[in-house]
Amino acid sequence: MCGCDDCLGPEQEITPEAAYALLHSLGLPAGWQLFDLGSGLGKLVVQVHLDPKLAAARAVGVELAATRHAAAVQALAGLTQLVSAGELAQPTGTIELIQGDMLKTVFDVAPGTYVVVYLGSLCFDEEFMTRLGKVVAAERCVQTVLTLQTFPDGLTGFSLVRTVKADMTWLKDEPV
């Protein structure tokens, strides 16, 4: 875990509407991929996978907690059945739910792939954010980082483009 008590508490998620607005506003190129590090119940990953308007080629969720990962896998199985039954549109991209430590994420993407990293990081402590910043900054494929919390030592090679307010499930209008 990231080292905070909140990780064991209630889920803290960006709302689907806020996630769509945020991602849509980025004007992402064709073939873009999402890596949600600390994907919890997988809601953001699944949303991105299923929304044809977002047109992600791949949505990857990395979650350490076995119970949350299992719940995400189960939810995805249910949605896959709805797709098979024709009740949901067939996604064009792929989805992967991985149980593991985000600090060991393997960004196995082809050269030139545009990667967006999302960090629902509000509960991550300073030491964890520092380590995570080093991991993310070391990945040349990562083009955009969306984080609820800034990095104590900054993010080498990146500059802050903007701060936006987004609705979260526990509060309205949190900075992202």
Ligand X SMILES: C[S@@+](CC[C@H](N)C(=O)[O-])C[C@H]1O[C@@H](n2cnc3c(N)ncnc32)[C@H](O)[C@@H]1O
Nearer to ligand X, 24 or 84 (CB): 24
> From the CB of 5, what's the least distance to ligand X, in Å?
11
> From the CB of 141, what's the least distance to ligand X, in Å?
19
> From the CB of 167, what's the least distance to ligand X, in Å?
12
Q: How far apart are CA 10 and CA 6, in angstroms?
A: 7
Nearer to ligand X, 101 or 174 (CB): 101
> From the CB of 70, what's the least distance to ligand X, in Å?
12
Residues near ligand X (CB under 6 A) are 1-2, 7, 11-14, 36, 38-40, 43-44, 62-65, 68, 101-103, 120, 123
Nearer to ligand X, 1 or 70 (CB): 1
Q: How far apart are CA 152 and CA 5, in angstroms?
A: 20
Q: How far apart are CA 141 and CA 78, in angstroms?
A: 32
Which residue lies nearest ligand X, judged by its C-beta? 38
Q: Please tell me whether residue 14 adopts helix, strand or coil conformation.
A: strand
Number of H helices, E strands in the chain: 4, 7
DSSP symbols for 63-111: E--HHHHHHHHHHHHHHHHHHHTTSSPPPSSEEEEEES-GGG------T
Nearer to ligand X, 64 or 109 (CB): 64
Contacts (Cβ under 8 Å, ≥6 apart) of 74: none
Nearer to ligand X, 103 or 155 (CB): 103
> From the CB of 68, what's the least distance to ligand X, in Å?
5
